[in-house]
Structure 1
Amino acid sequence: MTEAGSNSPYNVEYEDETLFIDSSDWRSSRLLKGQISCSFFLFTLFGLAEQTVGAIIPKLQEQYHVNDIYISLIYFSGTLGYFTMALCNGYLHKNFGIRGVTALGLCCMTISYFIISTVPPFAIFVFCYFFSGLGFGAMDAGLNTWMGNLVDSNPLMGILHGCYGLGSMILPSLITHLLERKMNPWQWYDYYVALMALSGLCLTAALMLFRYETPKKYKYMVITKSKLDDNDIAMDTAKDDDVTIVTDLTSNTAELDVDDSREVSIAQVLAKPMVWIFATVLAMYVGGEVAFGQWLLTYLMRIKQTPYKKCSHIVTSFWSGLTVGRVVLGWVTGHYFTTELVANMVYITCSFGGYILIWWILFATDYINILFPLVFITGVVVGPIFPTTVMTAIRLVPKREEVASIGFITAAGGSGAAMFCSLIGAVAETSSISLFPLIIMVIFGVITVAWFFIYEKYKSVFGKTRL
C-alpha cells in the first residue's frame, strides 16, 4: 500500500502527471533538507529586506527631504502588496504550485530592489515596496503552511522565523558599518544592489529545490489531506502533534477529482470568525514587534540624544533576542508545553512584562545601557509568538482551507506592521515620538487579554480532529 504523507517517497499518477511525493520527515530525505535550508535562507533575506527602511530613515529623509508621515507611506505600500498577495494566495497556489508562487515572489523582490538601487523619485520608491510586499506575502503564506505540515514542525517553524530575526538582527549594525566606515563607505542605495543579488540567488535555488512542487501536486496534496480530515483520522497521535496517520488515497484518483469541488474561496474563509480572531491577534503582534524594531533607533536618537551607532546596536540587541527566542523556544514549545495555546499564553504575558519595564526605563530614567540586556530578553519572549500563533491556526483550520486561511492571517500581521508603524510616524510628526514606548506597551497588553479569550474558547477542541 502507498501512503500519502508517509515517510517513504513515492510516485503517483494524477491528472496525466507523475507526481513525486517526498517524505515529510527531514531526516530521511536529502531533497527535503535542501528545501528546508532554502526556506531558512529565504526568511533570512526576508529579515534583511524588511527592516531596511527602519535602519535608514535618517538617510532617506536626507535624500528625499520627507517627514515621518511620508516615511510611513513606505510601510503602508509594502503592506498593501503583502495583503494583496494574501487575497490571491489560494488561487495562485492552485494554478502555479508552491514552486511557482515562491518564484513569483522572489521575482517581485528582485525587480523592486533593482529599481530602488537607481535612486528613483520618492513616489516610485514607495511603489516599489508594493512589489516587495507581494514577495514577502508569497513566501510567508506558502512556506509557513508547507513547513507547518512537516515532522518536527514546531522547532522547524521556530528556526524558520528565527532566520527572519537573524536577518533583522544583522541589518542595523551591518548598514551602520557599511554607511559609516572610513574606507569606501557605501551609500544607502548600494545596499539595495546587494538585496537584489541575494534575491536572484534565492530565486535560482528555489526553482531547483522546489522543482516537484507543481500545481497538480499542490491540488493532489490538498484534496488528499482534506479526505483524511473528513474520515476523522486522528491528528493528535501519541502526544506527538507532528505525526500524521494516513491511509491509501492514491488508488482512486477519480474519487479525488470529486473532492476538488469542495475547494474553498477566500470569501468562504473570511466568513469564519476564527480566521478573523487569529488575524487580529497577529496584526497587533506584528504591528507591535515591527514598530518597536523600526522606530526604536529614531526614538533613541531624538528623545535620548543617543549616538546613531549605539542606537543601531540596541536595535540589534532586540532582534538578536528575537532570533534566539524563535530558535530555542520553538524547540521548547514542542517538547515542554502541552499545546501551543499554553505556550503562547506564557510568551505573550512575559512580553507584556518586558515592554512595561522598557517603558518605565525610557520614561523615568536615563540609564540607556540597561536597554541592551532588557530589549534582548524581551526579544527572546517576543520571538516565538508569531510561529506559535501560526501553528495554533494550522492545528485548527481544515486542511483544504490552510493556504487561504494562513495567507490571510499572516497578511493581517503585515497590515498590522503598516498600521502601527504609520501610526507612530503620524504621532511623531504631529505630536511627539516620546509616546512610542507607551503605544507598544498598550498593544501587548491588549494581545495578552485577547489570547486569554482564545485559550478559553479553543482549549476544549485543540489537538483533536480539525473543525
Structure 2
Amino acid sequence: MPDGLLGVSWPSIHAAFALALDSLGLLVAATTAGYLTASFCSGMVLRVFPIGAVLALSTFGAAVALLGFAFTPSWWLMIALGFVAGLGGGAIDAGLNSYGARHFSPRTLNWLHAFFGLGTTIGPLIVTAVLDADRVWRLSYLIVGTAQMALAATFFLTRHRWVDVPETSDNPAPLPSAAPTLHTLRRPVVWLGMLMFFFYSGIELAAAQWSYSLLTLGRGVSETTAGFIVSLYWGSLMVGRIIFGFVANRVPLVKTLRLCIIGSIVGALLFWLNPTLLLGVAGLMMVGFFFAPIFASLISLTPQRVGHEHATSAIGFQVASAALGGATLTALAGVLADAYRLEVIGAAIFAAAVLLLFFYEAFMRAGNAAAPVRAPREPVP
C-alpha cells in the first residue's frame, strides 16, 4: 500500500511544501538509500537474526515512518523519514523474497506478489478518495501507516512460525550453507542479475510515479480519472500475477518471461507515442500486465542461476538494485521532464524496456543452468 501512495499524492505534497516538481527525486533517493542499505546487507543480517524477528522490527520501522509523513511540518524531516521507511521496506522485501525463493514454488511466489499488486492498487484509490473528499493528503499516510502498524504486530506474533521447511518437496534435503557475501559478488551472473532488476524496477516505478503527472499536466486528463488510471496500472500487475500463478508451474519460465518483456516493450511504445488517449492508456496497462510475472519468477529462478549457496545474498543484491533502479530512473525522468517536457517520460520508459530485454538475455546465458528451466510442479495435498 505505501508504494502506491506517492505518485498520486506528489502534486499535493510539492504544493504543500512549495517545492519544484522534480524534488520528488530527492525523496525517492532518500528512501532508496535506506532501502539499499537494508537489502544489500540482508544476507549478513539473516545469517545472524531469525527472519521472523527481522520482519517484525522492519515493518514497525516502516509504520513509524509512514505515520511521521502524516504529521511532519518539515520537508527535510520528511526526507529523513523516507530513509527510515526505506530501511524497513528493504529488509521486508529482501527477507520475504529470499525466504520465498528457497521455500515456495513459482506459483506461490507469483500469488504472493499479486497481493503486492493489490496493495499498490488500493494505495492510489485511498489518496484519490481523500483528495476528492477535500481532505489533506496527510490523511492517506495516516490510514496506511496504521495498517502497517497492524502488520508489524502480526509479524511479531507469528515470528516463531517462520521455519525452514520447503513447500515444494515432501522430503526436503538440508538447505546449503550461505556463501560469504564477497564470494557472491565475484560472480558475473550476480551482476547481470542486478542490472536486470535495476531496469525492471526502474520502469515499473517510473511509470507509476510519473504517469499521473504526465496524464494530468501533459495530456489534460482530470485528476480523478488519472488517479483511477494509476490504480488500473497497479491493478494490471495484480491481475497478471494472479493469472500467471495458475500456469507458472506448467510453462517454460525463461521463454515465457522473454515474451512478457517483449510485450512490455510494445506497451511502452504505445504509452510514449500516445496515438490516442485510449491507446496510450492501453499501453500503460500492457506494461503493467506483462511485467506481472517477471519479478517473482526471476526471484524463483535465481537459486538455479547463481547457485543455492549464493541465493540469499544474490537476492538481497537484486532487491537493492531494483530499489536503485527505481530511484535512478524516476529521478532521471523528472530531470528530463523538467528540462524538456513531460512527454519525454514515455521515451525513457521505452528505452529502459529495451535494455531490460538485453540484460535478461545476458543473465539467462550466464546462469548455471544450460537449458531453459521448467519449474517443478507443486505436490498435490
Q: Same fold (TM over 0.5)?
A: yes
1:159 aligns with 2:111: yes
Q: In the alignment, which of 249, 264, 271 is matched to residue 351 of structure 1?
A: 264
**Structure-2 residue corresponding to 1:230:** none
Q: Distance between the aligned counterparts of 2:170 and 2:333, measured in 1?
A: 44
Residue 47 of structure 2 aligns to which amino acid in structure 1?
Answer: K
- Residue of structure 2 equivalent to 1:42: none
Q: CA 1:211–1:246 in structure 2 vs 1: closer, same or farther (change >3 Å)?
A: closer
Larger radius of gyration: 1
Which amino acid in 2 is paired with 1:121?
Answer: S
Task: Give the Cα–Cα distance (whole angstroms) in 1 for the partners of residues 354 and 309 of structure 2.
Answer: 34
Q: Are positions 1:197 and 2:146 aligned together? A: yes
CA RMSD in angstroms comes to 2.3
Contact in 1 for aligned 2:113/2:296 (Cα 8 Å) = yes
Are residue 105 (structure 1) and residue 20 (structure 2) matched?
no
Give the distance between the partners of 2:110 and 2:254, measured in 1 at CA: 15
Partner of 1:460: 370
Residue aligning to 1:342: 255
- Alignment of 1:297 with 2:203, yes or no, is no
Match of 2:287 in 1: 378
Q: Given that residues 36 and 320 in structure 2 are in contact (C-alpha distance below 8 angstroms), is that contact kept between their aligned partners in structure 1?
A: yes
Letter in 2 for 1:409: Q
Q: Distance in 2 between matches of 1:411 and 1:327?
A: 25
Q: What letter corresponds to residue 43 of structure 2 in structure 1?
A: G
Equivalent residues in 2 for 1:41-440, closer than 5 Å: 48-151=1-104, 153-181=105-133, 185-213=134-162, 242-243=168-169, 246-247=172-173, 263-335=178-250, 337-338=251-252, 340-361=253-274, 365=275, 367-440=276-349
- Distance in 2 (CA, whole Å) between partners of 1:383 and 1:377 is 10
Letter in 2 for 1:352: I
Shift of 1:263: 4.5
In 2 relative to 1, CA 453–404 (structure 1 residues): closer, same or farther, beyond 3 Å? Answer: closer
SS in 2 for 1:381: helix
Map of 1:5 onto structure 2: none
- Give the 3-state SS of the residue equivalent to 2:332 in structure 1: helix
> Any conservation in 1 of the 2:272–2:280 contact (CA below 8 Å)?
no
Post-superposition offset of 1:406: 0.6
Is the Cα–Cα contact under 8 Å of residues 119 and 189 in structure 1 kept in the other structure? Answer: no
Q: 1:333 touches 1:343 (CA, 8 Å); kept in 2?
A: no
Instruction: State whether residues 76 and 418 of structure 1, in contact with CA within 8 Å, keep that contact through their aligned partners in structure 2.
Output: yes
Contact 2:269 2:283 in 1 (8 A): no
Deviations 1:242-278 (A, max 9, x none): 447645x6xxxxxx9xx9xx64332222121111111
Taking a change above 3 Å as real, the CA distance of residues 131 and 429 of structure 1, as seen in their structure-2 partners, is same
Deviation at 1:145, TM superposition (A): 1.7
Cα deviation for residue 374 of structure 1 reads 3.9
* Number of positions where the alignment pairs a residue of Structure 1 with one of Structure 2: 373
Question: 1:268-315 deviations in whole A, cap 9, x for unaligned?
Answer: 221211111111001101001110011001011121121111111221
Deviations 1:82-125 (A, max 9, x none): 11002221222122211111012112112112222112311110
Name the aligned partner's letter for residue 110 of structure 2. Answer: G
